[in-house]
Chain A
C-alpha cells in the first residue's frame, strides 16, 4: 500500500479542475405536477399499473404487438425509454432476459415477484454445462408466466401499488382505492379458476407450450406441455409423438395460447382432444384487457 506521503503527493498532483461540477441525485420524476412515468416489460404489469395509476401518470409498454415480450430484446433507443422512466416494472423470475444485459437505473426497478420469490418455479429440466475453472453451472432458469397464478398476480399488483405509493405518497388514497377494485376482480377470476380446477381435478390436460406452470400448480391441473404454435400445423412426427403421449397421458383438452388453426383443432378432435384457448396475455390483446382475456379463457374451459 503506498505511503501516506506518496498518496498525498498524488493528491497534490491529481487536480484537474477549474470549475467544480454541480451534482445531486436526480431522477427523471416530474416533481412539478406529480405525474409518474411508468414502463413495464409485459402487458399484465402494464394492465395492473394502468388500473392503479389512474390519471396520476402514464404507463408505457413498448414491445411490438406481434412479439412475445418474454423473448423480446428492445433496441437501444427503446432501452433509453426505459432509462427515462420514473419506475420500471419488472416481472422477475427471469422474464425478459434482456434486462440482465441492459443498463437500467437500479433505484427505479421494481421486481414485482421479489416478495413471492419462494413461490417461483425452477425449470428443472435445464441442462448444465462445465467449462473453465468454475465447475458446473446451468443456463436453465425459472418459469416466468407468474401472473397465471392469480394469487401471485395479486402479489405483483400489490408490489406495483407499494412502488407507486413510495414514489407519489400524495396519491396514496387513490392508488389504494384503485388497487382494491383490481384485487377484487383478480380474486373473482381466481374463484372462477378454482371452480375450473374442481371441474378438471385429476383430469390430464395438454398445454400447447410450457408457459402454464403457475396455472397448472395453482389450479391443480395435471398437465403435459408440447411446443406447438397455434398458427402452424405440426409435422407428422409431432402428431405421432402426441399420440404416444396420449397413451400415457390421456388428455381430453389441449389448452392453447391463442386460437389454433382449424386443421389443428380438427385433428386433435379426431384424437379425442378438445382445443380451448386460455391466452396467457403476455402482450396486449387486440381487444379488451387482461381480465377479459382470463374470463374468456374460463368460459372456454367451463364449456368442456
Chain B
C-alpha cells in the first residue's frame, strides 16, 4: 500500500499544475455550497437572534427592512426619519419602554449609534474598561470598534462629515472615549455609542459657543440691544465638548421635533405589545410599527430561495466538473499506456497498477475535500467578520 500511495503521490506532485487544477475544482464544488450554507446559517442565526431580541420597532412609513437593518444592524442606509416625539408618545401610552435610535453618522468606518441609557441594559452590554457615557460628547465603543479605530479609554474619536462639502451642518465632533464594551458578537461590537443628544450636536441641531457677553466675543457681535444680541458667523462654536464648555451647549426648540431613525419599543408584556401594534396599525399617520422577527423571517425566506438557486447552479457546475475531471483522467490513462505496459512487463501486479491509478483519484479527492473542509472551518470562524467588514467599509 505504501508503494502504491508513494507512486500516486509522486505522479501528482510531478504534474503539479494538473493536480492543482483538479484539487482546486474539487475543493470549489464542495466548498461553494457548504461554505454558502455556513454563511447563510450563521447570517440567519445572527439575524434571527438579534430580531428575536428586539420586540418592536417604530419608525417613519417606509421599508420595514430598511428600518430593521438600520436599528438592529446599524446599516448606514438610513430610513425615512421620524422624531423624538415618537419615543415620547410610546412612553406616554404606558404600554412600552421606548429606546430612541439615531444611526446616521459614522466615525471613519464605524457607525455612530446614538441612543439612550436604557439601550445598554436592553442589549446586555457589559463594560470591559472605563464607564458608561455620562455627559454630552462622551462615547463608549464596541469591542471591535475600539480595535478598528485603535483607541481606548481616554482617547478620542471624531465624527466623519457626511460629505466633503457639508460645511454648514454635520461637522466633525471630537468625542472622548470613556468606555469599551466586552465583545458580545453582535453589531454592537462595531458601534460607537453616544447619547442621542450628542448625535444632534453632530448634526448641528445643538451647539455650544462663546458667551456673547464675554469681551472675547465682541468681534462676533453685529448688533446689541437691551434684549437681543445678534452675532455673526465668526462666533466660535465648539467642536469638542469639554468640562469648560459643556454648560454652553444647548438645543433650540422642542426636543420632540428632533430626528430619529427609529424607536425600539419594549412592551411591558405581550398584551401591551399587541395593543401598541394595534394603535399604530389603525393610525393613518405617516408611521410604521414592525416586528423585526417577522421582517427577518421574510428576508431569510428570500435568502433561502436564492441559496437554493445557487446550490442548484453549483450542482450543475459540479456535474460538469466531475465529467471534465473524468475525461481528463481517461485521457491521461491513454497517455500513460506505455508507462502502464512497462510496469506490467517488469512484473507489476494488475491490482497494483489499478490501485495506483485509483490512489491518484483518491488523493485528489481527499486533498480537495480537506481544503474545502479547511476553508469551511475558516468561513465558520471568520467569514461573517470578513463579510461584515467589507459591507461596513
Instruction: Give which listed residue, A22, A76, A106, A127, contacts B134 with CB less than 8 A.
Output: A76
* Cβ 8 A contact of B135, one of A10, A103, A128: A103
Docked-complex contact A25 and B121, CB < 8 angstroms? yes
For B251, give the chain A residue with the smallest CB separation.
A100
Q: Is A286 interfacial (CB 8 A cutoff)?
A: no
Asked if A17 contacts B50 (CB within 8 A), the reply is yes
Q: List residues of chain A with CB within 8 A of the CB of B252.
A: 134, 137
Whether B134 lies near A17 (C-beta < 8 A) is: no
Task: Determine whether the beta carbon of B40 is less than 8 Å from that of A12.
Answer: yes
- Select one of B52, B122, B246, B384 contacting A26, CB under 8 A: B122
> Which of these binds chain B: A1-9, A223-231, A233-241?
A1-9
CB proximity of A30 to chain B, nearest CB, Å: 14
> Which residues of B are found within 8 Å of A4, using beta-carbon distances?
65, 302
* B63 sits at the interface (CB 8 A): yes
Question: Which residues on the B side are within 8 Å of A107 (C-beta)?
Answer: 91, 97, 118
- Place the interface of chain B in its size category: 35 or more
Query: A21 touching B134 by the CB < 8 A rule?
Result: no
Contact of B185 among A19, A97, A102, A103 (CB under 8 A): A19
Q: Could you tell me the distance in whole angstroms from the C-beta of B33 to the nearest C-beta in chain A?
A: 15
Q: What distance in Å separates the Cβ of A168 from its nearest Cβ neighbour in chain B? A: 16
Q: Does B266 contact A (CB under 8 A)?
A: yes
A101 to B189: give the CA distance in the assembly, Å: 26
Cβ-defined contact, B42 with A129, below 8 A: no
A221 → chain B closest CB, angstroms: 26
Cβ of B231 and Cβ of A21 under 8 Å apart? no
Answer whether A11 and B187 are a contact pair too, CB < 8 Å, given A2-B77, A25-B97, A83-B134.
no
Name the residue on A nearest B298 (C-beta): A8
Contact A83 B132 (CB under 8 A): yes
At the interface with chain A, which of B1-9, B222-230, B343-351?
Answer: B222-230
Instruction: Scan residues 12-30 of chain A and give those whose CB is less than 8 A from a CB of chain B.
Output: 12-27
Measured CB to CB, the nearest residue on chain A to B188 is: A21
Interface digits, A135-165 against B, CB 8 Å rule (1 contact, 0 not)? 0110100000000000000000000000000
Instruction: Looking at the assembled complex, report how far the CB atom of A76 sits from the nearest CB atom of chain B, in whole angstroms.
Output: 4
> Are A97 and B123 within 8 A (Cβ)?
no
Contact pick for A127, options B75, B188, B228, CB 8 Å: B228
CA distance A22 to B250 in the complex (A): 36
Q: What is the bound-complex CA distance between A2 and B65, given in angstroms?
A: 11
Whole-angstrom distance between the Cβ of A87 and the nearest chain B Cβ: 14
Q: Are B117 and A104 in contact (CB under 8 A)?
A: yes
A20, B49: Cβ atoms closer than 8 Å: yes
A73 CB-CB contact with B under 8 Å = yes
Which of B77, B117, B229, B266 is in CB contact (< 8 Å) with A103?
B117
> Which of A8, A25, A73 gathers most chain B CB within 10 Å?
A25
Chain B residue numbers with a CB within 8 Å of A76 are 131, 134-135, 138, 178
CB distance from A139 to the nearest CB of B (A): 7
Interface flag for A122 (CB, 8 Å):
no
CB pair B233–A131 under 8 Å, yes or no, is: yes
Bound-state CA distance A26–B188 (Å) is: 17
A130 an interface residue at 8 Å Cβ cutoff?
Answer: yes
Q: Which of B155-163, B327-335, B354-362, B385-393 sits within the interface? A: B385-393
Question: Which residues of chain B (299-320) have a CB below 8 Å from chain A?
Answer: 299, 302-303, 306
Instruction: For the complex formed, measure the closest distance between the CB of A141 and the CB atoms of chain B, giving whole angstroms.
Output: 10
Give bound CA distance, A105 to B252, whole Å: 22
Asked if B21 lies at the interface with its beta carbon under 8 angstroms from chain A, I say: no
Interface centre among A20, A73, A79, by most chain B C-beta atoms within 10 angstroms, is: A20
The answer for the CA separation of A22 and B186 in the assembled complex, in Å, is: 10
> Could you list 21 A-B pairs, sorted by A, with CB under 8 Å?
A7-B69, A13-B388, A14-B387, A16-B185, A16-B385, A17-B45, A17-B49, A17-B384, A20-B48, A20-B50, A21-B53, A23-B53, A24-B124, A26-B121, A26-B124, A73-B246, A83-B117, A101-B135, A103-B136, A107-B97, A130-B229
The 6 residue pairs across chains A and B that have the minimum distance between CB atoms: A20-B49, A15-B43, A17-B46, A131-B231, A79-B134, A26-B121
Given contacts A11-B43, A25-B122, A97-B247, 7 further A-B pairs with CB under 8 A are A2-B77, A7-B69, A14-B69, A14-B387, A76-B138, A83-B117, A101-B247
Enumerate chain B interface residues (CB-CB to A < 8 A).
39-40, 42-50, 52-54, 62-63, 65-66, 69, 73, 75, 77, 91, 97-98, 116-118, 121-124, 131-136, 138, 178, 184-190, 195, 197, 209, 212, 220, 227-233, 235, 246-247, 249-252, 266, 299, 302-303, 306, 384-385, 387-388, 390-391
